[in-house]
Structure 1
Amino acid sequence: MLKAIHVQESREAAEQKAQAIVEDLRTARMSKTADLIAQNDHETLTYYAFPDIHWQKIRTNNPLSAS
């Protein structure tokens, strides 16, 4: 679910996807997980403020996907 948020083309789309996931998690009675995502998704989306050419290198800590 989290990966689906971070593959969006824009921050707005990522925020909408995050909201949809939060709603799905609440429906599935996973409110603690939903709260965690709702409260912290903005921190994980900060890379959208940089030019998109840099996104692949800064949105992950996996050195294989950042090459």
Structure 2
Amino acid sequence: MQFDQAMFESKLDAMVREKVDRIVNAMLDAEADEIANAARYERSGGRKAYRAGHYERSLTAKAGKLGLRVPQLKGAVFESAVVERYRRREESVEEALI
């Protein structure tokens, strides 16, 4: 039985990148729900904004290049605490480049 270390590491990196991608996108959706004061497709009298789709954005992190789906809102401005506006790289990646 042979063990291919490089293949194992590449598969592991892909799995980590996929999980981080899912988690960050879920956090962005949760923030949009909080700003709108209602979940997606939820009928609520206290709703402050409505969902207006997503736009694609990339973010380079230690895990690799992430494909983010940033929510858009009607009636409110979506500002995320997870990903800063106009930020394309995570701070740890910028420090590594320096």
Give TM-score, length-normalised by structure 1.
0.28
Q: If you compute each CA radius of gyration, which structure gives the higher value, 1 or 2?
A: 2
Larger RCO (alpha carbons 8 Å, 6+ apart): 2
Between structures 1 and 2, the one with greater strand share: 2
